[in-house]
């Protein structure tokens, strides 16, 4: 009960930052309550971040737009307009534009998600859809067991076929072998059919729109900056591309249900319905 009330109290405040990366042991302490620090945890005024022996953490602190690298066996106290080292060495600080999620992990409403389930051939979880930042999209999907051939068809808003072809792996990058071009702002649809021994084992289709954005032209290799990029993507409405990052994070932390919860929400907003349903099933729904 104490932790529930504490969580409600903290959510009523404005966060001052977020945990971008945790290596080893680290905890967040607020007054007399403490909890393990996790990637994407929000930080509030009054919080103290403590790292254990050998533990390290990277956080963004929004009042001063800085990235703080907290060393082993250290403690940092956060206030509304400043931070200070309360134990151990002072964190290394570098300039970084703060980027906080509009919806915190674990607080997404899933009340109306999961009602849409198609009929017919078994559905396939597609991972590419909705608004896309690039003019050269990469079409991704979950592999179908026993399938070595996938047929892709891309059509425009008039239902005219722009490209069709086959792939053996669950990935296809535009322009593939097509001479056609995709236009910015046009509603497109891509359909995937999975076949084996002349039988259809799966079929799924979804829509996408190209909305190139130079702000996302590069993909950082730093895990902390990749999380920031994912937050920026979802805040800008690129839900499917944000989900790519959170899916990789969940692969590294499969027991963190916040990440699965967030994937449900992201896929639903990208209209990747079957991918959202698969994540709901992981939550036992």
Q: For residue 199, which phi and psi values (nearest 5 degrees)? A: -110, 145
Query: Is the predicted pLDDT of residue 2 greater than 70, yes or no?
Result: no
CATH number of 109-285: 2.60.40.10
User: Tokens representing 184?
Assistant: 């910015």
Question: Is the peptide bond between 175 and the residue preceding it cis, with omega within 30 degrees of 0?
Answer: yes
Query: Is the predicted pLDDT of residue 275 greater than 50, yes or no?
Result: yes
**Which residues are within 8 A (CB) of 167 and not within 5 positions of it... i.e. 6 or more apart?**
149, 150, 152
Domain boundaries, the chain: 2-95, 109-285
* pTM of the predicted protein model: 0.90
Query: Is the predicted pLDDT of residue 113 greater than 90, yes or no?
Result: no
pLDDT, tens only, 171-221: 999 876 666 789 999 999 999 999 999 899 999 999 999 999 999 989 999
**Which residues are within 8 A (CB) of 57 and not within 5 positions of it... i.e. 6 or more apart?**
19, 21, 22, 23, 26, 37, 49, 51, 69, 70
Q: What is the pLDDT of residue 11?
A: 46
Q: What is the pLDDT of residue 4?
A: 43
Of the candidates 275, 130, 124, 269, which has an alpha carbon nearest to the alpha carbon of residue 191? 124
The rounded mean pLDDT for the chain is 91
């Amino acid at each position: 009960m104490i932790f529930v009330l504490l969580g409600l109290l903290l959510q009523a405040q404005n966060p001052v930052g977020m945990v971008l990366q945790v290596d080893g042991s680290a905890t967040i302490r607020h007054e007399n309550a403490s909890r393990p620090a996790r990637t994407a945890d929000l930080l509030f005024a009054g919080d103290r971040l403590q790292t254990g022996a050998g533990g390290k953490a990277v956080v963004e602190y929004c009042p001063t737009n800085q990235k703080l690298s907290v060393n082993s066996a250290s403690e940092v106290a956060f206030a509304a307009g400043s931070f200070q080292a309360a134990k151990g060495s002072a964190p290394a600080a570098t300039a970084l534009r703060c980027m906080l999620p509009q919806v915190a992990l674990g607080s997404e409403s899933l009340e109306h998600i999961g009602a849409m389930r198609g009929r017919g051939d078994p559905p396939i979880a597609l991972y590419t859809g909705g608004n896309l930042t690039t003019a050269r999209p990469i079409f991704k999907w979950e592999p179908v067991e026993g399938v070595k051939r996938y047929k892709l068809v891309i059509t425009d808003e008039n239902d005219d076929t722009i490209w069709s072809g086959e792939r053996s792996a669950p990935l296809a990058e535009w322009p593939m072998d097509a001479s056609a071009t995709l236009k910015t702002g046009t509603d497109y649809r891509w359909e995937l059919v999975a076949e084996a021994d002349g039988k259809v084992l799966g079929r799924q289709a979804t829509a996408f729109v190209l909305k190139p954005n130079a702000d996302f032209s590069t993909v950082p290799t730093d895990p902390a900056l990749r999380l920031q990029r994912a937050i920026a993507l979802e805040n800008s409405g690129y839900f499917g591309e944000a989900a790519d990052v959170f899916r990789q994070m969940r692969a590294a932390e499969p027991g963190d249900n916040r990440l699965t919860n967030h994937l449900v929400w992201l896929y639903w907003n990208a209209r990747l319905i079957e991918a959202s349903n698969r994540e709901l099933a992981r939550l036992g729904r």
